[in-house]
């Protein structure tokens, strides 16, 4: 009726939100929504977080809800797992997931396996989160991608966001989930702004764990990635589009459970597959995707072998030029697509 009267009401425009602020919003909203939720980790409280993800939360919620811990991942991860076993909902921040190796017994043996080993009587609703994979100039011990490591383990859910909406929606879903969730963020994305829709600005916005998203429609080749490489795939798709090659870009979002149905549907349409990840090639996320496609119905639709684009099979070098050559770049994706298409 209003349109008939000449009143053209437009929907509220999307706003620009950084991944850092999206994570902060998600934590704030879930701390407010459920008094069982609390955050703990190194420097998360009085310092506002090493990456300012928890900025302002300690002042708002106090010492019992936002807790600074000593530099002891095994200790505070164990405290968090114990709290989750008695139905609190801890969010355990690792300053980098490389440091989660200090606590891997707690993450795998205590959190991931307890529900199965107790015949379902012990749930562990916990979120382990923090930056994962390569950053910039931090060398081998701070640059590893753990998607394949944690994605390997039954009992865990593993999510890996790219955009601000991914970050907010997946973190809120992870906190509300009754299972242990590992959330692998990218330090290099924290300051990157993305458009956030009106829907995503809602306090009830969640992204279902286990659902991939098609970021760009295409007909010639399927590109599958998670975290920061999704952006590289979109850049490569723009480059290739000028040459007449239309790439379908899938943002995996969840590593475990993997939305292989979305990948299969895309491969059936495009007949070609390229996977892209920052982790090492052997036993990687791309290797799993290729195996699942080979074992499933989409294999019969492939017109060429699938191609993997991965990080170099070396510990991360410190020197910038070597680091750049150890991480997938847009040119590497373009080359892989042309190889898959034989052009």
Radius of gyration of the chain (CA): 21
Q: How far, in Å, CA of 229 to CA of 252, rounded?
A: 11
Place of tokens 């753990």: 146
* H helix count then E strand count, the chain: 12, 14
- Of the candidates 29, 93, 142, 226, the residue annotated as catalytic is 142
- Of the candidates 29, 30, 73, 215, the residue annotated as catalytic is 73
142 is catalytic: yes
Instruction: Tally Cβ neighbours within 10 Å of residue 36.
Output: 17
Does the CA dihedral 116-117-120-123 come out positive or negative?
Answer: negative
Residue 136's contacts (CB-CB under 8 Å, 6 or more residues apart) are 188, 320, 323
Backbone angles phi, psi at 294, to 5 degrees: -65, -35
Task: Please answer whether residues 164 and 108 qualify as being in contact, where contact means their C-beta atoms are separated by less than 8 angstroms.
Answer: no
* DSSP helix, strand, coil percent of the chain (3-state; round to 5): 40, 15, 45
List 181's β-bridge partners, or say none.
Answer: 127, 157
Surface-to-core class of residue 208, CB atoms within 10 Å of its CB (0-12 exposed, 13-18 middle, 19+ buried) = exposed
DSSP 104-168: HIIIIIIIITHHHHTTTS-----EEEEE-S--SS--GGG----HHHHHTSTT-EEE---SHHHHH
Does the CA dihedral 105-109-110-112 come out positive or negative?
Answer: positive
Active site (catalytic) residues: 73, 142
């Amino acid at each position: 009726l209003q349109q008939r009267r000449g009143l053209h009401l437009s929907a509220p425009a999307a706003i620009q939100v950084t991944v850092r602020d999206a994570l902060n919003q998600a934590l704030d909203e879930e701390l407010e929504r459920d008094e069982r939720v609390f955050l703990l980790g190194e420097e998360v409280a009085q310092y506002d977080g090493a990456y300012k993800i928890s900025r302002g939360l300690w002042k708002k919620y106090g010492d019992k809800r936002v807790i600074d811990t000593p530099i002891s991942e095994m200790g505070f991860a164990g405290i968090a797992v114990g709290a989750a076993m008695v139905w609190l909902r801890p969010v355990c921040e690792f300053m980098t997931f490389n440091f989660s190796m200090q606590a891997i017994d707690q993450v795998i043996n205590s959190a991931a396996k307890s529900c199965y080993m107790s015949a379902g009587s012990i749930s562990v609703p916990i979120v382990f989160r923090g930056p994962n994979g390569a950053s910039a100039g931090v060398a081998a011990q701070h640059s590893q991608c753990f998607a394949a490591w944690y994605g390997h383990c039954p009992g865990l859910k593993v999510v890996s966001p790219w955009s601000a909406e991914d970050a907010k929606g997946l973190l809120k879903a992870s906190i509300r989930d009754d299972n242990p969730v590992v959330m692998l963020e990218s330090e290099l994305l924290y300051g990157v702004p993305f458009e956030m829709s009106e829907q995503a600005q809602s306090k009830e916005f969640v992204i279902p764990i286990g659902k991939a998203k098609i970021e760009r429609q295409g007909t010639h080749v399927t590109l599958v990635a998670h975290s920061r490489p999704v952006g590289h795939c979109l850049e490569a798709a723009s480059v290739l589009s000028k040459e007449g090659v239309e790439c379908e870009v899938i943002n995996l979002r969840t590593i475990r459970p993997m939305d292989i149905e979305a990948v299969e549907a895309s491969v059936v349409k495009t007949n070609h597959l390229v996977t892209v990840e920052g982790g090492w090639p052997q036993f990687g996320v791309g290797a799993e995707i290729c195996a699942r496609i080979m074992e499933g119905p989409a294999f019969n639709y492939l017109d060429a072998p699938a191609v993997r684009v991965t990080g170099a099979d070396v510990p991360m070098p410190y020197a910038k030029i070597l680091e750049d050559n150890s991480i997938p770049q847009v040119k590497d994706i373009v080359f892989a697509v042309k190889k898959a298409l034989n052009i």
